[in-house]
Structure 1
Amino acid sequence: MTTDIWLPLPPDSIEGLPTPEESGFRYLFWDGAQEFPADPADCAFYGVPYLRGPAVAVRPLPGMTSLRVIQTLSAGTDHVVPALGTLHSGVRLCNARGVHEASTAELALTLTLAALRGIPGFVRGQDAEEWRAGFYPALADKSVLIVGYGAIGAAIEERLIPFECARVVRVARSARATAHGEVHALSEMPSLLPEADVVILSTPLTDSTRSLVSSDFLARMKDGALLVNVARGAVVDTDALLAELETGRITAALDVTDPEPLPSGHPLWHAPGVLISPHVGGSTSAFMPRAHRLLRDQLRRFADGGPLAHVVLTTA
């Protein structure tokens, strides 16, 4: 008897998968195409297509009556969670912890440095053959607030250490101690925001973080502060951010937006003091080998009947 495994990457590209002979697995490739590779009712392990959007991600779920595992290739699972109510109990949802931390942290640092040091203006100056000399803000001696201190938040802090920041402050859903120091609870944000020169968002999108960056949040940021978002677009209230950017009081560097993709003509494209990248935090040369390793390791665990890694929740 075979067990259907749906993978979002070609199975023959992933070295070291459990062999069909030893595991009974039948590997099927599905990257979100209109046609399913087989009957969803026979799928036991579902690897969610990467960067295909929530509509594609959840489309086969109602028919997956034999499903036991959902594995995303993203750190966030907000595109899948709303559809889990269609499933039977005991389905484990796993995220891609270990795949995106390095790349996303790199981009968070890149956006921070580029925005502070005026790199977008230099590029425009080069296009116009203008020598735009002057003094620009440095990251050195700045106070940085990391909102969302999970694996990605910790990776961001590791990359900030050589840049001689005056202070790095960590915030997560609840307070705790770490090897680097204290992590503050989200409830402490109002008192922490006025002291931060740079606020980096790396929190998951949940009911408690949706529109976390509201008009009140932004108003508490100090004059001249920089907001960097490598989390999810909906963590930020776009209208509130636009209103604040128009005043010129703060600036922003955004890898994610709401709506996303940001449509042509949207006012955020040309808002003063904003730098936008097209949600490429995890889309680097580091992605594929790490995604392969994750899928290989998880399927070995699944074949052996052992505990899976990175389980976010189990359906009731």
Structure 2
Amino acid sequence: MSADVAERIVQGPVRARLARVADVHQIVDDFAHADLSQTEVLFTSWGCPPVTAEVLARAPRLRAIVHAAGSVKHHVTDAVWQRGIAVSSAASANAEPVAEFTLAAILFANKRVFDIARAYRDLRANADWDARYPGFGNYRRTIGVVGASRIGRRVIELLRPFDFEVLVSDPYLHEDLGARKVDLDELVAASDVVSLHAPDLPETRHMIDARRLAAMRDGATLINTARAALIDQDALTAELLTGRLFAVLDHTEPEFLPTHSPLYELPNVLVTPHIAGSLGGELARMADLALDELSRYARGLPFAHGIEPTTLSRSA
């Protein structure tokens, strides 16, 4: 993993627990000068370089990769799968803060919290908020979840205690998640909030395009805690400039918007700098899950959160 990630993740209790279960040799940033001849498991996180065939040739004893973060696509290459190396990911641990962020965004969006807070700040006085935001609130609203991913499924679970109708759209979903399955066009047209949780794949690029944005209800909110490529951002910006829709965007193209972007100033937009996922104290949840997996491996048990190469083509 990168040096800054190692400093944040492999510290205190994590370092002590890691040392109890394994003989640890730290590799930071790249494999170029690392002695991998005795390495049996790679304990990785963000910033891990690709584990290529050349790297594997120098690691004849490598049997597993335990990833203390989400997606493994950035560093687990075809050569890893071809050699039969077991791979585990802490994606389910990273899903939790994203789902929590999404739930908060949904509740605040329907309650018009950001808009009322801004108006209250400008007015410095009370106002008839019902008149300004007719029908605002969370009772009997329709929430559309796009993508039955780990995060999408967790969002659906978190929504159960509320008085919502929950819709879900995912072409690979064949089970009952307690939400009504519909196609994407029906979902965007029927939802008060559309929340994106699909992977970035060629077939999902700009799935939320000008046509689907135009089909959304007046006053609806689009939440993106997934990937920026899912949205045609130019089309979204044009729609947001009209004031008809609202948006909560934790991902944008580029990842950090240029200073002149109108999205910073629009009153109907909340832009955050990719903070929905694990940060701060939440990193420990991923580390703990990865250490649990490493402990299972040390005891000869299969991973509880193993990754199958056949599922990568439709995952984040």
Question: What is the TM-score normalised by the length of structure 2?
Answer: 0.78
Paired AA for residue 175 in structure 1 = L
- CA apart distance, 1:224: 1.9
Residue range with higher mean Cα deviation, 228-237 or 259-268 = 259-268
Q: Any conservation in 1 of the 2:102–2:223 contact (CA below 8 Å)?
A: yes
More strand, by proportion: 1
Q: Structure 2: give runs of 5+ residues left out of the alignment.
A: 311-316
Structure-1-length-normalised TM-score: 0.78
Q: Which secondary structure does the structure 1 equivalent of 2:24 belong to? A: strand
SS state of the match for residue 249, structure 1? Answer: coil
Rate the CA distance shift 1:286–1:154 in 2: closer, same or farther, 3 A: farther
Structure 1 residues 204 and 88, CA, compared in 2 at 3 Å: closer, same or farther?
Answer: closer
- Supply the distance in 2 between the matched residues of 1:265 and 1:74 (Cα, whole angstroms): 33
Distance, in Å, in 2 between the alignment partners of 1:225 and 1:43 is 52
State the one-letter code of the partner of 2:277: G
Q: Is the 8 A contact 1:111 1:228 kept in 2?
A: yes
Equivalent in the alignment of 1:151: 150
Q: CA RMSD in A?
A: 3.2
Q: Is the 8 A contact 1:94 1:313 kept in 2?
A: no
Alpha-carbon distance change, 37 to 11 in structure 1, aligned in 2, over 3 angstroms: farther
Aligned to 2:171: 173
Identity of aligned residues (%): 29
Matches of 1:183 and 1:96 in 2, distance apart?
27
1:115 aligned partner: 109
| 1:38 and 2:34 matched | yes
1:37–1:301 CA distance, 2 compared to 1 (3 A): farther
Which SS does the other structure have where 2:161 is aligned? helix
1:273 positional shift: 1.5
Q: Counterpart of 2:242?
A: 247
Q: 2:23 aligns with which of 17, 20, 26?
A: 26
Q: Deviations over 1:249-303 (max 9, x none)?
A: 2111112222113343333323451111222222356623322321212112322
Aligned to 1:101: 95
Which letter does structure 1 place at the counterpart of 2:90? Answer: A
The structure-2 alpha-carbon separation of the partners of 1:40 and 1:215, relative to structure 1 and needing over 3 Å to count, comes to farther
1:39-81 superposed Cα distances (whole Å, 9 cap, x missing partner): 356644333333xxxxx43356565213543443333345446
Deviation larger for 241-250 or 154-163:
154-163
Aligned to 1:10: 10
5+ unaligned residues in a row in structure 1: which ranges? Answer: 1-6, 51-55
Contact 1:41 1:64 in 2 (8 A): no
AA at the equivalent of 1:152: I
Structure 2 matches for 1:42-81, cutoff 5 A? 43-50=39-46, 56-58=47-49, 61=52, 63-65=54-56, 66=59, 67-80=62-75
Question: Which residues in structure 2 correspond to 1:265-304 (within 5 Å)?
Answer: 265-284=260-279, 287-304=282-299
More deviation in 301-310 or 227-236? 301-310
Residue among 285, 302, 305 paired with 1:307: 302
Deviation, 1:192, is 2.6
Cα distance per residue 1:171-219 (max 9 Å; x no partner): 22323222525544xxx21233211111011222233323222223322
1:148 offset after TM fit, Å?
A: 1.5
CA, structure 1 residues 226+301, in 2 after alignment: closer, same or farther (shift >3 Å)?
A: same
Classify the secondary structure of the residue corresponding to 1:177: coil
Cα deviation digits, residues 87-126 of structure 1 (max 9, x gap): 5712444332331333222211222233333333444456
Change (3 A) 1:292 1:125: same
